[in-house]
């Protein structure tokens, strides 16, 4: 009976790791795409500032959330966090609390 339970536990751990690898590949693809998005946002914001002499507020807010999202992806794929980023949790809309240790909380941006 103990042997059977140990085998079931080992099988569960292997399945859990296989699922984790699947999610890691998924998030690495998203991370790769996000690099191009960052370049596009930076260029758009540069043109906006050159034309209107002030940054686009919507782009600022989105790029802040995107930077926190990328941080969450890196935390997850490097095994520093067990929390799956968006779309399996809410889209971040704040900044990272730098005083937090393992799983930093996202702090709402005050306006």
What does the longest C-alpha to C-alpha distance in the chain come to?
74
Which single residue is written with the structure tokens 């998203």? Answer: 30
Number of domains into which the chain is organized: 1
Backbone torsions φ then ψ of 81, nearest 5 degrees: -150, 145
100, part of any domain = yes
Q: How far apart are CA 90 and CA 104, in angstroms?
A: 15
9, part of any domain = no
pTM above 0.85, yes or no: no
CA distances from 40 to 47, 88, 108 (A): 11, 25, 25
26, part of any domain = yes
12, part of any domain = no
86, part of any domain = yes
Q: Residue 23 sits in which domain range?
A: 17-108
34, part of any domain = yes
Query: DSSP string spanning 61-98?
Result: HHHHHHHHHHHHHHHHHTTS-----TTSSPPP-EEE-T
pLDDT (tens place) for every residue of the chain, 111 residues total: 687 777 777 777 778 899 999 999 999 999 999 999 999 999 999 999 999 999 999 999 999 999 999 999 999 999 999 999 999 999 998 777 654 444 555 544 444
2, part of any domain = no
1, part of any domain = no
Give the 3-state secondary structure percentages of the chain, helix then strand then coil, rounded to 5. 65, 5, 30
């Amino acid at each position: 009976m103990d042997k059977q339970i140990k085998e079931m536990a080992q099988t569960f751990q292997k399945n859990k790791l296989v699922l984790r690898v699947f999610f890691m590949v998924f998030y690495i693809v998203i991370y790769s795409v996000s690099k191009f998005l960052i370049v596009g946002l930076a260029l758009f914001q540069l043109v906006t500032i050159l034309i209107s002499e002030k940054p686009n507020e919507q782009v600022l807010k989105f790029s802040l959330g995107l930077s926190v999202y990328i941080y969450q992806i890196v935390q997850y794929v490097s095994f520093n966090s067990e929390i799956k980023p968006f779309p399996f949790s809410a889209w971040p809309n704040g900044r990272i609390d730098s005083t937090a240790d393992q799983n930093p909380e996202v702090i709402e941006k005050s306006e």
